[in-house]
Amino acid sequence: MKYFTYRILFTLLFAFGLSAQAADIDTRVSRNPIAANESFQLILQTEETPDGEPDFSPLTRDFDILDQRQSENIKMINGELSRTIGWTVTLIPRRTGTLEIPEIRFGADRSRAIQLRIEESPQDRQQEEKSEDIILRLTAEPKTPFVKQQVVLTLQVYQGVGLGNTTLSPPRSNDPEIHVRRLGPDRRYEERVNGRQYLVTKRQYFLFPQKPGSLTIDPATFQGEVMAPGAGGIRFSEAPLPGFGANREVRRAQSDRLSLEVISVPEKFPSTAWLPAVDLRLSDNWVDEPPGFRVGEPVTRTLMLSADGLTASQLPPLKFQLPPEFRLYSDKPYLRDSESGEGIRGLRQERITIVPSQAGDFSLPEIAIDWWNTSSGRQETARLPGFRILVLPPVTADAKPPPAGPVGTGMSVAPEQNLSQGGSVSIPIRLPWLLGLLASACVLAGLAWWLKARDKSTLVPRPKPKPKPTVHRKTQDIKGKQLKQACIANDAEAAGKELLVWAALHWSSAPPTTLGTLAGCFAGSDAEREIRSLEHYLYAAKKGDWDGRPLWQAMKDLIIDQGDIIGEQDLISPSYPR
């Protein structure tokens, strides 16, 4: 019994000792030394179960972790089972020199540290281009820009082998206020460098320095997977085969770091709006060419400012001072950026409506924009010259012609006298001639009465025809419905056409031909405001959403009133709201 107790105690102590023994973790790398910007594998293996899961976070100090995998291998040799647990971590060094892979913790267990030697890439450009499969070149133009001047960055990626799973991180500025933006699509072409053929991808970016001084552009980084040596080479124009397995190898390349020296605004520049551009243009156009000015009638002018090397948001508002006899209405400015190989081009378009309130001779002032020509390095001014205009008086629809003089009536008007002083106006009348006219009128009236009585006794009575309206009621009804449908459907173009067609029906002798002229017919009313709003929308370069219901609300009562004028009782079907 005593022997049996000792045996159990010995077994427990032996088991406890086994559990307390630390797991032996074998640590190695796929190769050493390692070339800069090339990936390698860190391999960890053990035959015991470690105390916990591995913590690879210490590796991120000097390496980038590209991939990590875990595997388990079980073998039977001479009837005995053996198990191997492994971890494979793909790394790429962040710098050159002697680096250490630190201990990796598995709970209480640890792997051993390893020293690596990371060799620098060849410094000579020709040697680098001969030996490297991936080359990155980054250039900036200009290298000494002004504040807020466009800087174009050109990145060229040279690929000498087939690559898969590629990633490209763009260049970045060390100034957090500066955003590096991509410019246009990529260009791809082939180029031979020192006897080796490369596939070249050209990508451009642009930025705007915000303050004078030194500006650093951090390198761009390109990464891709290639076939490892001995796995069967492929050309750069071929896609890499899927599922490389052990033959997969990650390559990384970086461009050079750039340093720019930003120049401050010249002290002698006269304007507060600093505009450094390659080219700047100022132009205008009128809805009617040439424009005609009349009191109360609007005239629309579109001003356009475009600049090569500036965005639309950098362009200033186009301001000018009109005489006090004019009212000015402006739409929301239209801004647009377009891209080309030379950089960005900004456009600012402003649409204004001028309404004169007094007839006479006036002067419209010039518009001048000061800017800095970055090509010539000097200040320039873009101008729209001022000009004189003649504003005509308003057209009155109820103007009466002057009284005509007497013609062959035997009546004459005496010279004007002052009636307030007891004077009188004498008109000599020839009595016999007037009596003859009265007698003739009586004879004609009697003859007409006799003919009318004769017709009633001999002819079959028929209803008296109604006076024919100026425009058929059905036509007006159809046009009213079509205008309402266009407004409710928010179809601006159809609403404009229906308005002009309806106006041509109502003013058949002299119909308005433009929406601006039609709006003038309803001066001071809601209809004028809504028609002008529709006109501005149709002529706007950038169109948003248009709501046609306010236009219909302003026009429906006018359409009904005009139907009464031409003798109709209703122009809109009862199913449409009034």
Per-residue confidence (pLDDT) for residue 18, from 0 to 100: 43
Q: Which residue shows structure tokens 């307390």?
A: 20
Q: In this predicted model, what pLDDT tens digit does every residue of 544-568 receive, in sequence order?
A: 788 888 888 888 877 754 443 333 3
Lookup: tokens for 497:
């056409």
Q: How far apart are CA 495 and CA 486, in angstroms?
A: 5
More confident residue, 269 or 577: 269
Output the pTM of the full model. Answer: 0.51
- How do the domains of the chain map onto residue ranges? 2-119, 125-262, 276-392, 473-565
CATH no., domain 276-392: 2.60.40
Could you list the beta-strand ranges (E) of 230-324. Answer: 248-254, 258-262, 276-277, 279-286, 293-294, 299-308
Average pLDDT (465-490) is: 66
pLDDT-derived band at 468 (thresholds 50, 70, 90) equals very low
Q: In this predicted model, what pLDDT tens digit does every residue of 296-355 receive, in sequence order?
A: 899 999 999 999 999 999 999 988 888 899 988 888 899 999 987 778 999 999 999 999
CB-side neighbour CA atoms (13 Å) of 18: 8
More confident residue, 257 or 39: 257
The residues, ordered by sequence, that sit 6+ positions from 493 with a Cβ below 8 Å of its Cβ are 538
Q: In this predicted model, what pLDDT tens digit does every residue of 173-187 receive, in sequence order?
A: 988 888 899 998 898
Lowest mean pLDDT among 189-193, 262-266, 408-412: 408-412
More confident residue, 480 or 256: 256
More confident residue, 180 or 450: 180
Q: Which residue shows structure tokens 């009617």?
A: 288
Lowest mean pLDDT among 10-14, 42-46, 140-144, 435-439: 10-14
Q: How far apart are CA 158 and CA 226, in angstroms?
A: 14
More confident residue, 35 or 303: 303
Closest CA to 211 of 261, 257, 172, 171: 261
Same fold, 2-119 and 276-392: yes
Q: Please provide the size of the chain in residues.
A: 578
Using the predicted structure, report yes or no on whether residue 542 has a pLDDT greater than 90: no
Give me the percent of the chain exceeding a pLDDT of 90: 25
Lowest mean pLDDT among 75-84, 144-153, 204-213: 75-84
Using the predicted structure, report yes or no on whether residue 493 has a pLDDT greater than 70: yes
Indicate the SS3 state at residue 321: coil
Q: Which residue shows structure tokens 């236009």?
A: 551
Closest CA to 252 of 140, 163, 156, 141: 163
Through-space distance between the first and last CA atoms of the chain, rounded to whole angstroms:
114
Q: How far apart are CA 248 and CA 225, in angstroms?
A: 6
**Cβ atoms 178, 255 nearer than 8 A:** no
pLDDT-derived band at 241 (thresholds 50, 70, 90) equals very low
Indicate the SS3 state at residue 203: strand
167 to 95, 223, 254: CA distances (angstroms): 19, 5, 12
CATH class assigned to 125-262: mainly beta
Per-residue confidence (pLDDT) for residue 555, from 0 to 100: 87
Per-residue confidence (pLDDT) for residue 15, from 0 to 100: 44
Name the H helices within 96-210: 125-131
Per-residue confidence (pLDDT) for residue 192, from 0 to 100: 83
What sign does the CA torsion over 446, 450, 455, 457 have? positive
Cβ–Cβ contacts within 10 Å for residue 494, how many? Answer: 16
pLDDT-derived band at 95 (thresholds 50, 70, 90) equals confident
Lookup: tokens for 518:
């039609």
More confident residue, 280 or 475: 280
Average pLDDT (383-392) is: 91
Cβ–Cβ contacts within 10 Å for residue 134, how many? Answer: 22
Lookup: tokens for 556:
């429906």
**Cβ atoms 559, 484 nearer than 8 A:** no
Average pLDDT (360-388) is: 92
CATH no., domain 2-119: 2.60.40
Lookup: tokens for 465:
């025809």
Closest CA to 231 of 223, 222, 240: 240
Indicate the SS3 state at residue 461: coil
**Cβ atoms 174, 216 nearer than 8 A:** yes
pLDDT-derived band at 502 (thresholds 50, 70, 90) equals confident
Per-residue confidence (pLDDT) for residue 501, from 0 to 100: 85
φ and ψ at residue 519, rounded to 5 degrees: -60, -35
Indicate the SS3 state at residue 46: strand
Q: Which residue shows structure tokens 């407004």?
A: 487
Q: In this predicted model, what pLDDT tens digit does every residue of 258-291 receive, in sequence order?
A: 999 999 999 889 888 899 999 999 999 988 877 8
Using the predicted structure, report yes or no on whether residue 150 has a pLDDT greater than 90: yes
Average pLDDT (366-392) is: 92
Burial classification of residue 84, based on how many CB atoms lie within 10 Å of its CB (0-12 exposed, 13-18 middle, 19 or more buried): middle
Per-residue confidence (pLDDT) for residue 128, from 0 to 100: 46
Using the predicted structure, report yes or no on whether residue 191 has a pLDDT greater than 50: yes
Q: How far apart are CA 349 and CA 542, in angstroms?
A: 10
Q: Are strands 114-119 and 34-35 parallel, antiparallel or unpaired?
A: parallel
